Every structure is written in structure tokens, then in C-alpha cells.
Amino acid sequence: MPITDAYNAPVKDMKFVLHELWDASELSTYEGYEDASPDLIDAMLEEAGKFMKNELLPLNQSGDREGCTLENGVVRTPKGFKEAYDKYCENGFTALSTDPKYGGTGLPHTVEFMVQEMVVSTNMAFGMYPGLSHGCYNAIYLHGSEAQKDQYLPKLNTGEWSGTMCLTEPHCGTDLGLIKTKAEPMGDGSFSLNGQKIFISAGEHDLTENIVHLVLAKLPDAPEGVKGISLFLVPKFIPNENNEPGQRNGVRCNAIEEKMGIHGNATCQLFFDGAVGWMVGQPNKGLAAMFTMMNAARLGVGMQGLGIGEIAFQSAFDYAKDRGQGRSLAGTQSPDKPADSILVHPDVRRMLLRMKANNEGGRAMAAWIALNIDKSLKHADPEVREQADDFVQLMTPIIKSYMTDAGSEAANLGVQTMGGHGYIEEWGMEQLVRDARIAQIYEGTNGIQALDLAGRKLGAHYGRYLRTFFHPVSTFIEENAMNPDASEFVGDLAKSFGWLQQATGQIAQSGLKDPEEVGAASSDYLRLFALTTLAYLWCQMALKAKAALKEGRGDAAFYEAKINTARFFYKRMLPEAQAMFKMIGAGKDTIMAMDEDGFSIAA
């Protein structure tokens, strides 16, 4: 059956990670979150799951096939997107975790994270429209003037207006210091922007009455490089005295990118021709303000990987249990049928369990990070807030990179599980492969994320970020060394953690002498870090499941599956950590010794 028929939001597992693995009830003790009880959170997740399945999932394949169209400067989204967007706004999903002062619901970011996963699973292309708006809201909320907040945030919260982030230009992506877009002061507090931006997600569309572009540009006297970048707020329509869309601004969509996936989202080339804008924050400090938006976006992209991974898994499993092909190697399992389901075959189970282990481990990691985001914002103790923020900073490149790799892998494993039906358009799995691929690229490629982790986060504040992970893991291993329920896991966790500690020391030492050593090790180091993180989480989840079974509470089958998945992860996936450690130790020479001509000598 097509993927449109296969998905159910994994609310049961979300409840497990929020209430059994972690204690989300702490959220209601924070100022402003008093109403965020476990019951309220569960109700929100239940309703969100129903809405996304009923309203967004039916538009996923049709939106991909139809795509967006550009005619006379007007971009049309696929059929049904506008109506679904209006319902999405009416249900308050555009303002779940935003400040009530500006019309937000004020729920914890933890709830937002779980809902994000559901949105992506059901319609990744659609989800990017409100997702970009949320990032725009965050940047204005943290760096804009009071007047800018009052004018723009309520409209972003209701979804009447949407937002974008405009960074990339034809000649520069990662190296933003090379941007050429200029902003000339007009003498009245406004600026005239001229330049071109490309790859702008949701850059032009028909879902909202106005679009708020956040644009990186340089002042006439700006210093060279990244120290000369400022951030500007450039609306599609300049608001009038009633804060309604007024005069059309000088920003136009010249083309929609013809791309591999996410066809339902308009990825635009935008031209700024004397566009009127207003500075956000301080002159030449725009990159720091934009990174507020990008860091939130990187976490959101990690959730995109998880969302794709979940619907790929559910779709592949749904297919496997019904698809009859051959007989079990152990003997016929369904004698009343002409063939056994492919679920009896070990290699099919291997693929499905790999997807399941990454998804459930990734969801546990996402909840851990999300709870620390809320703690960093709301906890009464400033020292606790700082520690929580340190942890979020450390884990951001890990969840962005590992979970988007895992999501792409899951989609490809889904195709492999479904065989020819996975490869053709009708069943929808090949769309997931195409949609998932961008998540490994945008908001900083996964290689850039690895460099951020190994080159910046590792040594930041004399290792302060690392302590937020190393200390709890070390303590957990010590406390469970003699725990019989943990015996099948904790030894392997200790080995992986030891390799991570050694690799951290090696990179820190070699990087002082040669930064290329850090670059050569960074991707393997990030993967080693991620595997160790998942090992830590899977051990905890297995212990929680064993305790529940002993106490005779809850769904026994759920807890037994959780323990079996933990065993699969430890025996079939965690061994990759040792390979990562060995590759890190190999140094840079096998990568950097090849001269340029050597790459093409056999061509």
C-alpha cells in the first residue's frame, strides 16, 4: 500500500521518552510552563498526530508530483496546501512554543520538537513553510527592536505572515564572508538592499499575505569577511499604518529551483532591487543574529531526519508483513498461503531493526536536547541554565548530522525492503529518498557539522561543553557496573565511551599542531560520538523497560520490543564505534597525501 496509508504518529514512544526515560513533569515547575502537565502534553501529541495524518499526509505525494509553479512573479503551491495551511494556523501549530506576549501558546519547546517530527513524517515540504517562519520569529524575538517585535511577531504567530532566511548567493554558501548583497542607508533608519540570493526555501508562495525576509547584507563601509555582515528585515509588502500589507517591496522571485526533492516547497532565487529593509540588531553583527536562526534550524533539520526515518520504517514494515515471497529458511511459516511474508527473512529484519533502532534512539536524543532547551530558558538557577545551554550547543551538530544521515539511510533501506515497489513512484518510498537527501546538505552540510563539533565545540571554554555529556555518562557507567539488569549492555557502553574519550584527546592534541588532522578525523569523530550517545540512551531505555516488566505495568509487548531493539543496537550497530576509533587514529595522511593530479590520473 502507498505510504499515505501506512503512517501513525509514534505517540506511545514519545510518551515513553518524555515520561519514563526522562521526567518531563519538571517542565511544569518552570515559570511560564505551569500548565504543561504530562496530561496536557499527551493530549497535544495525540491531537497533533491525528491532524498531521488527516490533513498533511494526503497531500504529500500529490504535492510532490504537482510541485510549485511560477507565473508572472507569482508562486503557486500545490493543490490543497493553502487550505491545509489555514487549518494548521487555526489549530495553533504556528505558535506552539512562542511567547504569549505576542500571541503565542507558550508551550515547552519539548512539545514543539515532538510535533515537528510528525509534520515531517507526513509532509516535509509543507512543514518547511511554518518551520522557516518559526526560525524568523526566533531571530527577531532575540535580536530585534521592541518596535520590530511588536510589528512582526504577532503576525508570524498567527501564520498570517511567514518568514525566510536569505543567506546563500550564487558564488558563496558556507563562506558567508563572500556575500555581495549591499545595504545602503537611506537616512531615515531604513536601508536599500540590492543583490541576489539563491536556494531560499519558502521564498515566495501563496500561503500567506506577507513574507518577512531576513537578509544578510553588507553596509558600504563594512569590514571584509564575516565581520562585515549585517542582518536586515525585508518584508515582501511594506506594512502600512494599520500593520497590513501595503506597497510591494523591491524583492522578486526570478525562478524556482528545479531540485531533487521537496517539490511542494518553493525554493526560490530572489532578487533585491532597491528593496527597503530595516536592520536587526547591531551593524556588522548580523552573522551572530542569523546563527540564532540557523542553530534552531539545525535542530529542526535533525528532526526532519527523524521524521523521514519514522515514516520510511513504518511504510517498509507495513509492506514487509503483507508481501509474500518465498519461504522461511527455518521452514514454512504460513502453510495456508502460497508464500511466507518477507518479514521472515533475516536480512529484511536487519534493515527494519536498523531503522527502528535509529528512530527510537534518535527520538530519545531529541527529547533529551529539547528538555535542555527548556531548562536553559526557564530554570530558576542561572548555573543550571548555562549547563543546559552548553549541552544543547554540544549536541546540535550531532543530532543534525547523525539523524539526517540515518533518515536518508532509512529511506534507502525502505526502498531495498520494498524492492521494485520501493523504486517506482506509486508507492511513495522513492519520494522519501529524494526528500531526505537535502537534510544532509542545508543549514550547514554534515561535514561542516562535524568540523563544528571537532574543531570548535570540543575545545570550547576549555572543554566545558564536553563535560555536560562526559560527566553523566561516566557516572551512569560507574553506577551500573554491578547492576545485573545492565550487565549485557554496560560493558560495551564503557568500551565505546573509552574510545570516545581517547579520540577526543587525540584530536585535541594533534589539532594543536595541525588543523588538517582535525578535519580528517571530524566526520568519524561525530559518528563515534553519536553512536556512544545512542548506546547510553539505549542502555537507559532497556533498564526502564525491564523495570516496567518486573512491576507488571504498561504494555508488556512494547517493553519487550524495546529491550530487543536495544540488544540489536548493541550487537549490530555499536560495533561500528570501534571502526570509527581506528579510522580517527589513522591520521590525515591517507586523505591528504594524494596530489590533485592523482585524482584524475586514471580518467
Q: Please tell me the predicted confidence (pLDDT) of residue 385.
A: 97
pLDDT of residue 317: 97
pTM score above 0.85: yes
pLDDT of residue 1 exceeding 60, the answer is no
Q: Does 484 reside within a domain?
A: yes
**Beta-carbon count within 10 A of 588 CB:** 16
Q: How confident is the model at residue 582 (pLDDT cuts 50, 70, 90)?
A: very high
Q: Is the pLDDT score of 3 beyond 90?
A: no
CA distance 92 to 47: 12
**167 pLDDT higher than 60:** yes
Lowest mean pLDDT among 181-190, 431-440, 452-461: 452-461
Sign of CA pseudo-dihedral 492, 494, 495, 500: positive
603 domain-assigned: no
Residue 473 pLDDT greater than 70, yes or no:
yes
Mean pLDDT of the chain: 95
Q: How far apart are CA 133 and CA 152, in angstroms?
A: 11
Catalytic residue among 55, 310, 409, 443: 443
CB–CB of 93/118 below 8 Å?
A: no
- Please give the share of the chain, as a percent, with pLDDT higher than 90: 90
Q: What is the dihedral of CA 409, 411, 412, 418, to 10 degrees?
A: 140
Q: Cα 9–304–458 angle (5° rounding)?
A: 125
Cell of 261: 526533492
> Contact 193/234 with Cβ under 8 angstroms?
yes
Domain end residue (candidates: 284, 300, 328): 284
Residue 418 belongs to some domain of the structure: no
Residue 552, burial from CB neighbour count under 10 angstroms (0-12, 13-18, 19+): exposed
173 pLDDT band, cuts 50/70/90, is low
Residue 269 lies in a domain: yes
pLDDT (0 to 100) of residue 292: 74
Q: Which residue from 438, 96, 445 is spatially nearest to 294, judged by alpha carbons?
A: 445
| 551 counts as catalytic | no
CA distances from 36 to 48, 78, 96, 114 (A): 16, 36, 12, 14
Q: At what angle do helices 515-551 and 576-585 cross, to 10 degrees?
A: 160
Residue 451 corresponds to which cell in the numbers above? 568540523
* pLDDT of 234: 98
Decide if pLDDT at 273 tops 90: yes
Q: Does residue 246 have a pLDDT over 70?
A: yes
Q: Is the pLDDT of residue 41 over 80?
A: yes
If one counts the domains in the chain, the total is 2
- Tell me which residue of 182, 130, 177, 127 sits closest to 157, measured CA to CA: 130
Q: Does residue 104 lie within any of the structural domains?
A: no
Phi, psi of 561 (to 5 degrees): -65, -35
pLDDT band at 461 (very low <50, low <70, confident <90, very high): confident
Quick check: 174 pLDDT over 80?
no
Is residue 227 in some structural domain? yes
What residue numbers bound the domain in which 212 lies?
161-284
Q: Which of 284, 309, 324 corresponds to the end of one domain? A: 284
The last residue of one of the domains, among 256, 284, 312, is 284
- Regarding predicted confidence, which is higher, 363 or 297? 363
Low-confidence winner among 98-107, 163-172, 536-545, 574-583 (lowest mean pLDDT): 163-172
Predicted confidence at residue 4, as pLDDT, reads 54
Q: What's the whole-number mean pLDDT along residues 324-331?
A: 91
336 within some domain: no
User: For residue 230, is it within any domain?
Assistant: yes
Q: Three-state SS string across 498-559, please? A: HHHHHHHHHHHHHHHHCHHHHHHHHHHHHHHHHHHHHHHHHHHHHHHHHHHHHHCCCCHHHH
Residue 296 pLDDT: 80
